[in-house]
Amino acid sequence: MAAKGKVKGVIANLVIVEATEAISQNEICYIAVGDRRLMAEVIKVIGTNVYVQVFESTRGMRVGDQVEFAGHLLEVTLGPGILSKNYDGLQNDLDKMHGVFLKRGEYTFPLDEDKLWDFKPLAKAGDPVEAGSWLGEVDENYQPHKIMVPFVFEGSYTVKKVAEAGQYTISDQIAVLTDKDGQEIPVTMMQKWPVKRAIKAYREKPRPFKLLETGVRTIDTVNPIAEGGTGFIPGPFGTGKTVLQHAISKQAEADIVIIAACGERANEVVEIFTEFPELDDPHTGRKLMERTTIIANTSNMPVAAREASVYTAMTLAEYYRAMGLRVLLMADSTSRWAQALREMSNRLEELPGPDAFPMDLSAVIANFYARAGYVYLNNGATGSITFIGTVSPAGGNLKEPVTESTKKAARCFFALQQSRADGKRYPAINPIDSYSKYLEYPEFQDYIAQRVDGEWVGKVNELKRMLQRGLEVSEQMNILGDDGVPLDYHFTFWKAEVIDFVILQQDAFDKIDAVTPLERQEYMVNKVLEICHSDFAFDSFTEVGPYFKRVIHLLRQMNYSEFQSEKFNDYEQELREIVFEAVN
């Protein structure tokens, strides 16, 4: 019988409940407000006082309202039919809801209970299995969706029987397992899992070592991220966080894309809803939305649901990783999630940390980022979750607590710079402040050497040194004037500009330049370094600027041309001629 209680106090969406029985941390409860039952989560228990965060507006809630505890934690429903769905932070199917505004207390089932799926068995009677083992598969939007032994099962089991190939709903029995005592356990295509607990249905979780190719040059070339790695994109408003996320989602080498809009402005979330269904998938030739799931929790929704949305998204990602798929998880913006944590911490009157954020903010963020990763499953297959979050620091201050805490957890730091965005230098990632710690790992270096060039890491570091030196020279030229510095300074400045315009900047609206394969990136980096290593012979600084503008123009035209096409080769030949003239 479910435990019960009654409302003792209401502080916005923090409600104090007097419980009659023992209650678990993170347990779900429902509070009766009129004819509505509002969902809430237990966040603190002190004696008989239970503090819960309500995922809805608490307007009209009164002391004495009845509370019923569900007996389970905040959980999601896992099974075929998750792809192409638009969920809220509690995994309610938004497309099943009616009206312009979401109604309080309205919850919808996340999957289609009536749809028939073409099931194909993978296991057979007598096979030993454990949590996460593959029993069969169905085709979900052209993705091999594995039907697995529920993750809540502990120990080893034996398959007694598996359903024959055919059409079944998610509620139909597709297998029967027996435990060590011989007890029979039926299995369907559907299972549930608490979102705050990581799914660990894998044998090993090594340090990520494979490059995740995104097609964005300033990431792949200068600060690469690994498949199964973590990164974050901080930047002030208007610097291109959302557009960059869209580009990565569309182009990255991933099987599944999950977008978590945790507290973003409603108009930006609407853009995701309207734009993603129209985006063509360059990998499949179909629509990107076929292999995408959107978790939407806008800034005008209750703050408690922001926390739920990021955990829901990560749990869905772990589910698909256990199928041996490569998952790309994008969260926009984790700052809103941190603000929700701060709000609830303040209402609980906990000891505040910097800027009134919780004292354990760094630990909460680190634990969440740690759920991403590259894994070897129990059957030898591999799967991965690559997590990239965005941070919206107030006033663009990258020293604020959320950014600093995230820097400790994430391995890649892609800092968007206001001055680059104002100068229309997109993507506006600052190449000097940004970094990728994966470049320091020997296994990642070895993988890069196999994919492109054994000297690739050295070349990347050389590009960064030239950019740093170019920035220093630029500052001196601004102070002393063009005629107040040696001629070498002008060469240094313009060589850095060549790297910036040709390698770092990219046109997201050009069909060819929008996505650059790694082999092409390698070719253009070698071409740019060849020019930067050349000793040019000019008598006056007035000749340097116009000459390098011609060089930049030709290199950019190469970026806009099909790789190794006739037009591409013509531009390269013209470039070769003007470089030859200037160095002799």
- Which residues face 54 on adjacent strands? 40
Nearest residue to 264 (alpha-carbon basis) of 353, 187, 330: 330
B/e letters for 102-124, b = 16+ CB within 10 Å, e = fewer, are eebbebeebbbeeeebebebbbe
- Which tokens go with 535? 């000793």
Instruction: For residue 81, say whether it is annotated as part of any ligand binding site.
Output: no
Residues contacting residue 304 through CB under 8 Å, at least 6 positions apart:
13, 40, 41, 53, 54, 55, 340, 344
d(CA 515, CA 495): 24
Instruction: For residue 210, say whether it is annotated as part of any ligand binding site.
Output: no
Residues contacting residue 502 through CB under 8 Å, at least 6 positions apart:
524, 528, 552, 555, 556, 559
Instruction: For residue 239, say whether it is annotated as part of any ligand binding site.
Output: yes
Instruction: For residue 242, say whether it is annotated as part of any ligand binding site.
Output: yes
Q: CA quadruple 529, 530, 531, 534: dihedral positive or negative? A: positive
Instruction: For residue 238, say whether it is annotated as part of any ligand binding site.
Output: yes
Instruction: For residue 442, say whether it is annotated as part of any ligand binding site.
Output: no
d(CA 191, CA 322): 14
- Going from the C-alpha of 335 to that of each of 13, 263, 413, the distances in angstroms are 19, 8, 15
The answer to whether 398 and 234 have CB atoms below 8 angstroms apart is yes
Instruction: For residue 158, say whether it is annotated as part of any ligand binding site.
Output: no
Q: What is the CA radius of gyration of the chain?
A: 27
Instruction: For residue 136, say whether it is annotated as part of any ligand binding site.
Output: no
218 torsion bin: left (phi>0), alpha (psi -120 to 50), beta (else): alpha
Long-range contacts formed by 341-350: CB under 8 A, 24+ apart: 341/307, 343/303, 344/14, 344/43, 344/53, 344/303, 344/304, 347/11, 347/12, 347/14, 348/14, 348/43, 348/44, 348/51
d(CA 226, CA 208): 6
Neighbours of 446 (CB within 10 A): 12
Neighbours of 172 (CB within 10 A): 15
d(CA 94, CA 342): 27
Quote the crossing angle between the two packed helices 456-480 and 518-532, to the nearest 10°: 50
d(CA 520, CA 503): 11
Nearest residue to 559 (alpha-carbon basis) of 523, 522, 512: 512
Residue 291 φ/ψ, nearest 5 degrees: -115, 30
The annotation places the binding site for ATP at 235-242
Residues making up the annotated binding site are: 235-242
